[in-house]
Structure 1
Amino acid sequence: MLSTVERRFWARETSTEAALPVEKRVAIAVWKLATPDSYQSVANQFGVGKSAVGIVLMQVCRAINRILLRRTMTLGNVEDILDGFAQMGFPNCGGALDGTHIPILAPPHLASKYINRKGYFSMVLQVLVDHRGCFIDINTGWPGKVHDARIFRNSGLFRKMQARTFFPDWKITVGDVKMPIVILGDPAYPLMPWLMKPYTGKLDRSQDRFNYRLSQCRMTVDCAFGHLKGRWRSLYGRLDLGESSFPAVISTCCTLHNNCEGKGETFSQEWTSEVQSLEAEFAQPESRATREAQYRATRIRDALREEFEAENQQ
């Protein structure tokens, strides 16, 4: 429930010329976010003007981001996260990192920057998820043409991980190497002492086993994206918005995702089928691998690989 102060702020942020009740404005915005329906269709559904739908959508999104985003997008219990990923097979892991492309209409300016490798216009959403598939950190607004590694290096998450301020400074010993809390990424990201990614190229048995364990944990981020897009299908509707408005809509969907997941809201498999049909039209571009790696990071990954191999032989 919102406090009196929050309700006043919400009402001010979502006021329209039609003076619609707050509950109706929220319903209009949630309906628009949850479906690929057109503005006119939503307007007909709620008996309002077409232009009012767009106004209400952005005002409600701004209010949700202002009031709820910081409450739901939190690190939470670090020990719980570490235990969760450890049960999946990866020690001292604090999250899984990945990006996804959200289809958009061609921006009026610098449109070529938004064309991704699959040939459609998109905006990138980069996320870090916990073991339950909730978003711990998000970064959005970058054009679809930009490489994942560049987006990551320019994110607040990267700066905090480098400064060792995002997670507690908890280390474990793997072989003869000290390992901090790490996050897991795909080959598009640089190998860092605090970011583990798969081995690439021709793999031996132990490297393949390492990759399998890492992949099992990274399935949480794939599942999170599936639930995000399944519940909030407007993310595939190429909303008719200015490019500066898209980050607010995407952030709102992420905030509502965490709220639904945290409260155990049921996820219908029918939504998955709809998302899969939409995915066929807007396939995700393949990540371009980067070979960047630090020596200490390589030692940590090799030590983990050796430990996983030893555990398998016991």
Structure 2
Amino acid sequence: MRKATFMGLCAELAPTLRRRDTRLRAALPVEKRVAIAIWKLATPDSYRSVANQFGVGKSTVGMVLMQVCTAINRTLLRRTVTLGNVQDIVDGFAQMGFPNCGGAIDGTHIPILSPPHLASEYVNRKGYFSVVLQALVDHRGRFTDIYSGWPGKVHDARIFRNSALFRKLRAWTFFPDRKITVGDIEMPIVILGDPAYPLMPWLMKPYSGKLDRSKDRFNYRLSQCRMTVECAFSCLKGRWRCLYGKLDLGESSISAVISACCTLHNICEGKGETFSEEWTSKVQRLEAEFA
């Protein structure tokens, strides 16, 4: 991120992160705390490597990382990972080919070290330990709802049915009541998912089996719009590569770090920060190591 974005982030977090000097030592400045956390999140470096980079102790890096992630989640998460202007989102997806769409949903696996309890539950279908991040994104690839922490063995549909997003959508409270008429059918605002998700009045998924021309066209348009969530995950992991470095954290801390990365992703996207395609290729190389 650019310096202006970094300093703005420090200003937002300063009231929570600022510490007083003691007789024994001077407190780390807020800017250094945030820089240590950003560096650890943006690289798959070890705690020792980050400690050497900033001239602090290894344990200090771990402590500062969780302090900053907790501050981000308390201060920025709810107003950054939010629905925003629904009409803009609907118009954006309409331009991409799907009418009255409010978002695209999917899950992605975040590699972790083997947990001490029930480790077999965390082994996903690709054979490595992970937790699942479920996310709903808008037409620009920004997260509007996130839910993380379930073991990698659990199916996406089960995670979805246990999420707050599912309950809000089922109660018709997540989106405003804006229906359009398609043919002779009233269509509410819907979200788009892959075949793993259940078909609902407010959740569209692709047709399966033998397809005629109209069903094939429907699947193509749905796929075009659903690519936004795949691209969002690619950018998230490309910018915050700790998410592909086997998170070496306690179970209770993993979700906090994932949520902080999603919040920082939205901040960077909102500020127009550049994204290098080299980062994506590095993530693909890291991903290949888990195969």
1:50 aligns with 2:58: yes
Q: CA deviation at 1:8?
A: 2.6
Output the CA distance in 2 between the equivalents of 1:257 and 1:4: 18
Output the CA distance in 2 between the equivalents of 1:276 and 1:111: 25
1:172 aligns with 2:180: yes
1:264 aligns with 2:269: no
Aligned twin of 2:290:
282
* Residue identity matched to 2:17: W
1:129 aligns with 2:137: yes
1:97 aligns with 2:105: yes
The aligned runs of 1:119-268 (5 Å cut-off) are: 119-268=127-276
Structure 1 consecutive aligned stretches of length 4 or more whose deviation exceeds 6 Å: 2-5
Output the CA distance in 2 between the equivalents of 1:18 and 1:241: 27
Deviations for 1:133-153, whole angstroms, at most 9, x for unmatched residues?
Answer: 000000001000111000000
Deviations for 1:90-144, whole angstroms, at most 9, x for unmatched residues?
Answer: 0000000000000000000111110111110000000000000000000001000
Task: Report the secondary structure of 1:244's partner residue.
Answer: helix
Deviations for 1:55-101, whole angstroms, at most 9, x for unmatched residues?
Answer: 11111100011011112111111110000000000000000000000
Aligned twin of 2:83:
75
Aligned twin of 1:302:
none
1:8 aligns with 2:29: no
Aligned twin of 2:95:
87
User: Which of residues 66, 72, 75 is equivalent to 1:64?
Assistant: 72
Task: Report the secondary structure of 1:136's partner residue.
Answer: strand
Q: CA deviation at 1:18?
A: 6.6
Output the CA distance in 2 between the equivalents of 1:232 and 1:165: 32
Compared CA separation, residues 216 and 5, structure 1 to 2 (3 A)? closer
Aligned twin of 1:293:
none
* Residue identity matched to 2:115: P
Q: CA deviation at 1:177?
A: 1.2
Task: Report the secondary structure of 1:165's partner residue.
Answer: coil
Compared CA separation, residues 12 and 171, structure 1 to 2 (3 A)? farther
Compared CA separation, residues 162 and 237, structure 1 to 2 (3 A)? same
Task: Report the secondary structure of 2:113's partner residue.
Answer: coil
1:109 aligns with 2:117: yes
The aligned runs of 1:12-31 (5 Å cut-off) are: 19-31=27-39
Compared CA separation, residues 18 and 150, structure 1 to 2 (3 A)? farther
Task: Report the secondary structure of 1:206's partner residue.
Answer: helix
* Residue identity matched to 1:136: T
Aligned twin of 1:290:
none
Compared CA separation, residues 124 and 91, structure 1 to 2 (3 A)? same
Task: Report the secondary structure of 1:245's partner residue.
Answer: helix
* Residue identity matched to 1:228: L
* Residue identity matched to 2:273: E
Overall identity of the aligned pairs, in %: 81
Compared CA separation, residues 18 and 211, structure 1 to 2 (3 A)? farther
TM-score, length basis structure 2: 0.93
Aligned twin of 1:273:
281
Output the CA distance in 1 between the equivalents of 2:259 and 2:205: 26
In 1, are the aligned partners of 2:192 and 2:226 still within 8 Å (CA)? Answer: yes
Output the CA distance in 2 between the equivalents of 1:185 and 1:232: 25
Number of residue pairs matched by the alignment = 281
